Structure 1
Amino acid sequence: MNVNFFASRTISWYMARLFVVRSFAVLAALAVILLALDLLGESGDILAVPGNGDAQLWYYVSLRLPQIVSRFLPFSVLLGTLITLATLNQNSEIISMKAAGISAHQILAPLIVASLAIAGISFWFNDHVVARATNVLSAWQDVDYGPIPQSHGVVSNVWVRAGEDLIHAAQASGRGSATVLRDVRLYDRQGDRLGAIVSAPRATYGGGGWQLREARIFDVASGRVVNRQNVTIGRGVSPDRFTLATVNPDGLSFRALAQAIGDLRAAGRPTVALDTVLWHKISGALSVVLMPLLAAVAGFGLARSGALFVRAVIGMALGFTYFVADNFALAMGNIGAYPPLLAAWAPFLLFLLIGEAVLIRTEE
């Protein structure tokens, strides 16, 4: 019996080429169809803005296409695997390989290696192309496909913790030391009691703290109000804690999201949902590696027994069940019901074991 990882170089290249070509053919077909349907739904809103025309439609296509490719790549790999293995089985090529002493794992080995390469490309594509396209498209949709203002990035309704105190700003704009807060309130807490409320229409950063102009101080114990021209609050609270209050994880790369999570933790805000998305950026890209294993059931068994279609349906069902479980775990992680690592990796590891168990029990 051949105990090498690959059965032979010729068979491995043949299998990998069939798998990659069919997977990307399915992806291209899905992308064209879904993009056309999506553009039909959005073109009316885009063209309703005065000045928008064909150029804006193509601009939307350039931003939406990377999102569609990223989302449906695992589905395409699943369908590409099913088509490849079912065709090989129907032509008795799988039977010939097994008759030559090649195991089921050796038959799948080229597909697994090729899917690992696809996973690496997918992670890079999501990190450098999809994240940027998502960020720009979200900004464009926020202004109803009108001109995107240069001041985009204004954050509203920001809460920041400074020791025991809480600082609320109705709006935060600018970057770094040029950050400006508007309609600011400081809740001065002493233990579990509220001591005073300091409010001002505007605050700027300087001297390691936030400078309030025309501040109004309400003492809770006495009920008295004191007006002061200059008050400094929030010493040690950096501007990034306000400007990063609203983070779109899909619009950030892995490194940028990790940095944003660190800043939010320093600000004392919860990051469970963002931690889940951060880890899912890796596990989501690796999900394509599972597809050959889950769809392998379609490649084995006798095609003339009439069970090939049933096997293909079982393989498709296993793949789609994984996507359902993955989305459910991700939702549970976003609301804090599951720890981030469990939410991101549990479906992947579970279906890896399921696929391996099915393959070993039925073919090995």
Structure 2
Amino acid sequence: MKLLPRTLSLYLLRHFLFWCLSVAFGVCAIIFAADMIQLLSDDLTQPGVGTFDLMGLALLRLPQTFQQVLPFVILIAGLGTYHQLTRTSELVVARAAGVSVWQFLAPPLLAALAIGIFRITMLDPVATTLQSKFDLLHDEWFGNGDGNLVATAGSGVWLREQGLDGTAIVHANHVSLANRSLGGIVLLTFDPDDRFHERVDAQFGRIENGRWQLSGVERVVAGHAVERMDKLSVPTRISYSEILDRFAQTSVISFWALPRHISLLESTGFSARPHRLLWHRLLAMPLLYMALLVIAASFALRFHRKGDAALLAGAGAFTGFLLYFLSDLVYALGINSSIPLQLAAWAPAGVTALLGITMLLHFEDG
């Protein structure tokens, strides 16, 4: 297959990028307006938080939300690009000059590939960082935070609990999902003035009914000797489900940080399946964007010839929503281990690509 002349390639590329930017701007405006409405509603009971503060908060969440709808931006931009070029007969002239559908599809496909790579390598780290900042500010301004923190490190699991009577810091070497317990526990408590109060070392522990149930305990209170006991019960506001939910959260972990986070989770006993699935799903994004563009081209070229623009819009919208629904369904099956992880991550992109290529082969090449 011959390559397109440079001028025609740049012309097609410019049209596609223009549609991408136009649709992206419109989508971002809708997302920002929806977030502002929600935040203004929350602000009704939060004096001292100004409108400009809420605008900044909405902007912090915007990149993370925009990433979720970026596939629709590619689909709509592809529909608009090829429908416009076909309506103005520019592609008809190009085809009469011997240019095949695969040739004038190539420049936008390369652009979609570049957008996919940009999304996972640059936009995703920025979005996750801003999302973390959004969560902190939202909790601080609207009082949804409880001062608790759950995190992993190379040495194990760390938990911090902030209460009226001071701060408690808990470290565990590993977690057993089978019996919902933690091993190798060190619990440090501090008074409200951040002065050391006591240290508790335990071989094992679990959270039941709002209390740490520790066994194999050595306890040291400031100014006293070491005390050994078989069991000890310590009140806590952290639940085991909260710990699991915190480690299952993937929205604040960037593409570059995922491999290390997966390794840390598995070394401390947590399941890293959601994070592995997210890793593969991100890798499949460039293929998905290219596949959506092929789908868009097949719809735009096919239905314009029948003179039915409404059918074009309806078919494109239906395809987008159907893809979104099926992708989430397959992703949920992957999370639940109902289907293999790699299949759940790559199937939506692969099936979409095969469907688009099949449609173009049928409509354009007989």
Letter in 2 for 1:97: A
2:176 is aligned, of 161, 169, 183, to 161
* Residues 333, 339 of structure 2: 8 Å contact kept: yes
Question: How far apart in 2 are the matches of 1:327 and 1:163?
Answer: 28
- Tell me which residue corresponds to 2:128: 131
1:1-364 residue pairs with structure 2 within 5 A? Answer: 3-4=1-2, 6-46=3-43, 48-143=45-140, 145-146=142-143, 152-153=149-150, 154=159, 160-161=175-176, 166-167=181-182, 186=204, 198=215, 200=217, 214-217=227-230, 246-284=247-285, 286-301=287-302, 303=304, 305-364=306-365
Which moved further from structure 2: 156-165 or 131-140?
A: 156-165
* Residues 202, 217 of structure 2: 8 Å contact kept: yes
Which moved further from structure 2: 8-17 or 155-164?
A: 155-164
* Residues 75, 320 of structure 2: 8 Å contact kept: yes
Cα distance change of structure 1 residues 34 and 94 upon mapping to structure 2, 3 Å threshold = same
Cα distance change of structure 1 residues 306 and 201 upon mapping to structure 2, 3 Å threshold = farther
Partner-residue secondary structure (3-state), 1:217: strand
**How many angstroms does 1:199 deviate by?**
5.6
Partner-residue secondary structure (3-state), 1:51: coil
Partner-residue secondary structure (3-state), 1:114: helix
* Residues 288, 348 of structure 2: 8 Å contact kept: no
Which moved further from structure 2: 127-136 or 50-59?
A: 50-59
Partner-residue secondary structure (3-state), 1:251: coil
Partner-residue secondary structure (3-state), 1:341: helix
Question: How far apart in 2 are the matches of 1:304 and 1:77?
Answer: 22
1:233-257 deviation per Cα after TM superposition (whole angstroms, max 9, x unaligned): xxxxxxxxx9997353110112322
Question: How far apart in 1 are the matches of 2:319 and 2:140?
Answer: 41
**How many angstroms does 1:93 deviate by?**
1.6
Cα distance change of structure 1 residues 152 and 143 upon mapping to structure 2, 3 Å threshold = farther
Q: Compute the RMSD of aligned alpha carbons.
A: 4.0
Gaps of 5+ in 2: 151-158, 162-169, 191-195, 207-212, 221-225, 233-242
- Tell me which residue corresponds to 1:230: none
- Tell me which residue corresponds to 2:240: none
**How many angstroms does 1:361 deviate by?**
1.1
Letter in 2 for 1:96: V
Alignment: residue pair count:
321
Cα distance change of structure 1 residues 68 and 162 upon mapping to structure 2, 3 Å threshold = closer
**How many angstroms does 1:187 deviate by?**
6.3
Cα distance change of structure 1 residues 216 and 51 upon mapping to structure 2, 3 Å threshold = farther
Cα distance change of structure 1 residues 146 and 104 upon mapping to structure 2, 3 Å threshold = same
**How many angstroms does 1:172 deviate by?**
9.0
Partner-residue secondary structure (3-state), 2:182: strand
Letter in 2 for 1:105: W
Letter in 1 for 2:344: A
* Residues 283, 344 of structure 1: 8 Å contact kept: yes
Question: How far apart in 2 are the matches of 1:181 and 1:264?
Answer: 26
- Tell me which residue corresponds to 2:239: none
Partner-residue secondary structure (3-state), 1:198: strand
With normalisation by structure 1, the TM-score equals 0.75
1:218-273 deviation per Cα after TM superposition (whole angstroms, max 9, x unaligned): 6xxxxxxxx9xxxxxxxxxxxxxx99973531101123222121112112322212
* Residues 277, 334 of structure 2: 8 Å contact kept: yes
Which moved further from structure 2: 75-84 or 141-150?
A: 141-150
Letter in 2 for 1:66: P
Cα distance change of structure 1 residues 255 and 151 upon mapping to structure 2, 3 Å threshold = same
Question: How far apart in 1 are the matches of 2:337 and 2:145?
Answer: 34
Question: How far apart in 1 are the matches of 2:114 and 2:219?
Answer: 52
**How many angstroms does 1:344 deviate by?**
0.8
Instruction: Calculate percent identity across the aligned residue pairs.
Output: 25
**How many angstroms does 1:359 deviate by?**
0.6
**How many angstroms does 1:45 deviate by?**
1.8
1:145-203 deviation per Cα after TM superposition (whole angstroms, max 9, x unaligned): 359899755467987139999426798999xxx9x997967169xxxxxxx97165979
Partner-residue secondary structure (3-state), 2:269: coil
Question: How far apart in 2 are the matches of 1:362 and 1:148?
Answer: 56
Letter in 2 for 1:161: S
**How many angstroms does 1:99 deviate by?**
1.2
Gaps of 5+ in 1: 189-195, 204-212, 219-226, 228-241
* Residues 88, 299 of structure 1: 8 Å contact kept: no
